Amino acid sequence: MHQSADTNFPLLSKINSPAELRELEENDLYKICAELRGFLIETLARVGGHFAAGLGTVELTTALHYVFDTPNDRIVWDIGHQAYPHKILTGRRDQLHTIRKPDGLSPFLKRSESEFDTFGAGHSSTSISAALGMAVAAASRGEERDVVAIIGDGALTAGMAYEALNNAGDMDANLLVILNDNDMSISPNVGALRNHLARILSGKAYTGMRKGAKGVLQNVPPVQDLARRWEEHMKGMVMPGTLFEELGFYYIGPIDGHDIDALVKTLQNLKALDGPRFLHIVTQKGKGFEPAEGDPLAYHGVSPFNPKTGEMQKSVSKRSYTDVFSDWLCDMAEKDTKLMAITPAMREGSGLVKFSEQHPKRYFDVGIAEQHAVTFAAGIACEGLKPVVAIYSSFLQRAYDQLVHDVSIQNLDVTFAIDRAGLVGADGATHAGSFDYSFMRCLPNMLVLAPSDETECRDMLYTAYIHQGPSSVRYPRGSGTGVAEISKMTAIPIGAGEIRVKGTDIAILNFGTLLPAALKAAEELGATVANMRFVKPLDEKLVLELTEGHKLLITVEENAVEGGAGSGVNELLAAKSIVIPIVNLGLPDVFLEHGIQSNMLAACGLDAAGIVSSAHKAMDTHGIKLTGAA
C-alpha cells in the first residue's frame, strides 16, 4: 500500500473487500467516497492512467458494493475506464500503482485478475448482453442472485446495447441496467425533487399500488388501457424513460449519481423488485478534481500530474503517425471537395480534431457505432463522394460483416485509415491491432497498404484515396523514424515493393513499420531487405525474384503470423511449387498482456536481435552457411 494510505485514508485502508464495506454504517459511506476519490487522485497523480471517468463513478461503485452481495451478485461494468474505484474496493487497492505497467493491474476488467471482474471488457457496449446471459444462466440453474449492468461513457450509442435491451425486456429477465449518463446527454435536470421521486417510484408503496392496480384492472381492458396510458403520460412529463419502458423495463430516474444516500436507497428498493429494471443516474466526469471537471476529455487518460494544480508532465515527442494522417486528411480535403471523414467516437485519438474544425460539414462522428460507421461510409460512396473512415484496428473488428457485405462485395470506394495497428503497449490485448492484415487481405477487392515510415504513410494514404475501390492503410500508435515536414503527396504504383538493401543468402521481406529492425538485422547478416509496401496485392514478381539467389526467406510483420502477410508469401510459393526455407516472423498465437511497446516487440522476436536469432536458428535447421563463412 502507498505509505500515506493509513494516515490519509484511515477508513478506506481497512476495506479489503466489499464484505468489509458492507459492515460499515450507512453514514460512513460519505467518508469512504471522499477517501476513495482522494486515493484515486493521489495514486494516478504519480502513475497516470484512466482518470476522469473513474472519478465520476465513486459514489455509484460504493453504493453497488454496499447494497449487493458481490461477488455472488454479478456487477458487469461496461469497459474499464470507469472501474478503477471498483478495483480499489475489491482487494486491489495496494496494487493500483501498478496499473497499465508490465505485470501490473490490467487497465480494463479481467476475469483472471479478480472474481469481482465478472466479465472482461476492453471495448464498450457489451455489459447488457453479458449481464443478460448471466441472469438467464442463474434462472436456469435456480440460483438466487442479482445481476447488474452498468453502461455509460458514451456506450449507449452502440446498436449492440439496444439489441440487448430489446431482448432483455422481451424475456422479462431479472436484470438491473444502470445508465451512467456522464455527459448529461439525456436529461440535465437532476436534484432533490428527482431523487425524492426516484425513491418514491422504486419504493414498495408505489410498486405495490402499481401492481395491485394492474391486477384489479386486468379484466377490464378499456379501463386498464386508460390507466396504463395515464401512468405513462404522468411519468413521461417528468422523466425521459418512455423508450426504456416501451422496451419492457421498469424505469427509474434520472437521479444524482453523486448522492450516495439516494443511490443506496434507490438500489435497495430496486433490489427488492423482479424483472427488467432500468436506473438512470447522472454523474460528472472528473468529479471532485476541478481541472478534470473543467476538461474531462483532457483528463480521460493522464500521465503523472500535479495533484494540486492538475498540470501533467510533458514529454517531447516526434510527430506521430496519427499526426501525419491528420495533416494529410486536411491537405487532401483542400484538393478534393468530395472527401468526407467519418469516425466512431474517436475524434481526438484518430487525429480528426483539426479536420472537424476546418471542415465541420464534411466531418461525421457517429458515436460508438463501428458497424454503422462502415455502412454509413458505404452509402456516401454510393452517391459518388469519397469517404475516409478513421478507425482503430481493434475497433474495425467490430464491423467486419459490414466490411464484407456493404463495402467489399459492392466494391465501393471507401478508404480505411487504420490507427493503432500492431501492439499498443499499456492498453494491452483488447486494444492491440493484431489481426487487420489477416482479416483485410482475405477480402476480394480490398487494397491493403503497409507503410514503413511517416513519409510513406502519407504517400500511401494518397494512393489508397485515389484508388477506385475499397482500400486500407494501417499504421501504429506513436511515431516512427521521424521525417521532415511533409508537403507533397506521391502515388505509389499499386502492388509494387522495392529493394532497400541488396545482399546474399538471406532475403528479409518487410511489411510495415518494422523496417528499421529489418535493416539493422541485415547489416549483421549481409541480407537483402525488401520493403514490400503492399500486403494485397502482393508483389509476386519481386517475391519470385527473391527466391532466386537466396537460400532463406524471412517475412517480418507486426501482425498475427496466422493469415498475415507472411502467409500470403507462403501461399504464393506453394502455388508456384517453389520450395525454399522460409521463416514467418510476427505476433505469436497468444493474446499479449499490456507492457512497454518496444519490450513487447523484442519479446516477440521482432527487433533486430530477434530477426538475427531467428535467421541463425533457421540456418542451423536447414544446414545453410552464409557466403564467405568458414
Name the residues annotated as catalytic: 285, 370, 398
Q: Amino acid letter at 280?
A: H
Strands 498-501 and 528-531 come out as antiparallel
497: DSSP letter = -
- CB distance 590 to 542 below 8 Å: no
Dihedral-angle region of residue 211 (phi above 0 means left; psi in -120 to 50 means alpha; beta otherwise): alpha
Q: How far is CA 230 from CA 218, 224, 250, 265, in A?
A: 15, 10, 16, 27
Q: Amino acid letter at 353?
A: V
Cβ neighbours for 268, distance < 8 A, ≥ 6 positions apart: 67
Q: Where are the alpha helices (DSSP H) in 447-503?
A: 454-466
- Integer Cα distance of 76 and 121 in angstroms: 9
- Integer Cα distance of 609 and 19 in angstroms: 50
CA 603 to chain centre: 24
- Integer Cα distance of 395 and 359 in angstroms: 24
Torsion of CA 344, 347, 352, 356, to 10 degrees: 90
- Integer Cα distance of 518 and 606 in angstroms: 9
| Residue found under cell 505497467 | 101
Q: What angle do CA 280, 152, 18 make, to 5 degrees?
A: 80
C-alpha cell at 399: 464491423
C-alpha cell at 105: 493491474
- Integer Cα distance of 265 and 591 in angstroms: 42
Question: H/E element holding 498?
Answer: strand 498-501
| Phi and psi angles of residue 490, each rounded to the nearest 5 degrees, phi first | -125, 125
Strand partners, 343: 365
Question: H/E element holding 64?
Answer: helix 58-67
C-alpha cell at 585: 516472423
For the chain, percent helix, then strand, then coil, each to nearest 5?
A: 45, 15, 40
Cβ neighbours for 539, distance < 8 A, ≥ 6 positions apart: 495, 496, 497, 532, 533
- Integer Cα distance of 539 and 556 in angstroms: 15
C-alpha cell at 263: 443511490
Which of 420, 476, 423, 419 is closest to 453 using CA atoms? Answer: 476
- CB distance 241 to 251 below 8 Å: yes
- CB distance 253 to 238 below 8 Å: no
Say what angle helices 204-217 and 221-238 make with each other, to 10 degrees: 150
- CB distance 579 to 552 below 8 Å: no
Residue 409 has a CB neighbour count (10 Å cut-off) of 13
